[in-house]
Amino acid sequence: MPAGDLDTALRYLDPEVRITYYGTDKIPYAGDYFGITEAMTFFGRVGQTIEIIEMEPWKFIAQGDDLAVWGRQRFRRIDSGYEWQSEFAHIITLRDGRWLHFRDFMNSALTLEAFSR
């Protein structure tokens, strides 16, 4: 999905989409989001709090309707300018070519530290 393009993102989301970002509630966008409205809340919170400066996926494994992506991301907090990076694993389950469940695994300790500054 193109960063910042919510109209395009909507076309790629199943009506019953679930987005799971693992982490403490001190991370503004951590949590479980169900359905299109909550998914838009997730994307809004991400867009209001961080900028993804760099995203470097390096491994993809697809099996049926499941896709696993490993890589590295670099972020900047919008309000403070603080930057950090983390490796990630994104696990995406598709239904009819749309995201049904997106799970975001990364070093939430580093992200928590970024939001504690």
How far apart CA 91 and CA 69 sit, in angstroms, is 6
Q: How far is CA 21 from CA 16, 64, 88, 96, in A?
A: 17, 23, 11, 23
pLDDT for 24 equals 92
Rounded to a whole number, what is the distance in angstroms from the first to the last CA of the chain?
Answer: 29
pLDDT for 10 equals 84
Residues of the chain with pLDDT below 70 are 1-5
State the pTM of this model: 0.90
pLDDT for 30 equals 97
**What is the CATH topology of the domain spanning 6-115?**
Nuclear Transport Factor 2; Chain: A, (3.10.450)
pLDDT for 64 equals 97
How far apart CA 33 and CA 101 sit, in angstroms, is 10
